[in-house]
Amino acid sequence: MRYFGFTAIAASALMLAACGGGEKAADTTAAATTPATDTTAAAAAGTTSTAAAPAAGAVAAAPITGTIHDVKMIGDAKGYRFEPATITIKEGDGIRYTNVSGGPHDVAFDPAQIPAAVKPQLSANMPDQMSDLAGKLLVQPNETYTISFAKIPAGTYEAHCTPHLAMNMKQTITVQ
């Protein structure tokens, strides 16, 4: 019984330590005129959501300078898929992913498959990552996530939806 009491106390202390801290500063960055559900409006506009500059040696996010292409994320009776599953874009373009149905969805790249020279820029161009080269989960219908392909060299990049990878929800992106 004493063991369980100690475990509960230790868990409570850890929770308090993790939740503690000072007040957060107010976000003073002006938002771009986009829907509130677009988690990357600042990236598409070429700004970041905080005033902090990149750390020394870090790569800065490159703003979209070309076309923003729309890709739907769908899960229904036909299966789980990106529409289109294959897309060709130009360097500087962006892709806006929209959760249509069957979520949650995300957009992720296998870090082992991305060339070492490309990985830092692609990572910088993907705000709000859940893990290395994995965008945030889109839970609500019509929620969006935009990735900039500015400063990404020509090549073919394989993306997937982490929650639905076993159901073959994959996409091939060709950057020209």
Say what the pLDDT of residue 70 is: 98
Q: Which residues contact 138 (CB under 8 A, 6 or more apart)?
A: 73, 97, 98, 99, 103, 104, 105, 106, 144, 145
Residue 120 burial (CB < 10 Å; 0-12/13-18/19+)?
A: middle
Q: Which residue ranges of the chain lie beneath pLDDT 70?
A: 1-57
- Residue from 69, 101, 57, 104 nearest 176 by CA: 69
Say what the pLDDT of residue 166 is: 97
Query: At the top level of CATH, which class does the domain 60-175 belong to?
Result: mainly beta
The full set of domain ranges for the chain reads: 60-175
Say what the pLDDT of residue 160 is: 98
